[in-house]
Amino acid sequence: MEKKVICSDIEGNKFNVPVSELSFRPSVYALIIENGKILLSKQWEGYDFPGGGMELGETIEKALKREVMEETGVEVQVGKVIACENSFFKLPFVGTYVHSILMYFLCKNIGGILTTDNFAENEKKYADMPEWIDLNNIDKIKFCNSVDSVRIIKEAIKLQAMKN
């Protein structure tokens, strides 16, 4: 009997999926913290870290810079890894199932302006203008992802404090 895993979709629905139907999707995300605030992507009915799936042949650093520019308009310097997580997920719009490896990096804003002009076609359906969110409010907002976002943000704050 083939092994199965439980995948979730953006609404939290669960699907019992045979492993043979999964594909790997490495993805990278940025935590950009400045002046007591974190830059988050406005998505669906909540927030997520700017970032997304890597393309074949793309380095981690190049993918992260591309994704952050697409979703925020900000250019970043990639720093240390904060966390690495797993997610079994049904991709919206496409309907395929992925085993996603999610890598989170502390990044530094080195230029650009907040914009939605660089959104990919699919992002235009669910994303909006990125926002700087006060770190004192991170436990009060809705995150649209499958990880403990508040824990990851707290790890980033600790790492950033050690650098300063």
Give how many domains the chain has, as a whole number. 1
Q: What is the pTM of this model?
A: 0.92
60 pLDDT tier (thresholds 50, 70, 90): very high
Distance CA 75, CA 67 (A): 10
pLDDT of residue 164: 61
Q: Average of pLDDT values for 39-56?
A: 95
pLDDT greater than 80 at residue 132: yes
Distance CA 92, CA 144 (A): 12
Quote the mean pLDDT of the chain: 93
Distance CA 57, CA 62 (A): 10
pLDDT of residue 142: 93
Helix, strand or coil, per DSSP, at residue 111: strand
- Give the residue among 143, 147, 130 at the shortest CA–CA distance from 74: 130
Q: Domain limits at 125? A: 4-163
pLDDT greater than 90 at residue 130: yes
- Give the residue among 31, 68, 38 at the shortest CA–CA distance from 152: 31
pLDDT of residue 153: 96
Copy the structure tokens of residue 108: 């530094």
Distance CA 120, CA 43 (A): 13
pLDDT of residue 23: 95
Copy the structure tokens of residue 153: 């943000």
pLDDT of residue 12: 85
CATH of the domain at 40: 3.90.79.10
pLDDT greater than 90 at residue 1: no
Q: Average of pLDDT values for 57-70?
A: 97
pLDDT greater than 90 at residue 151: yes
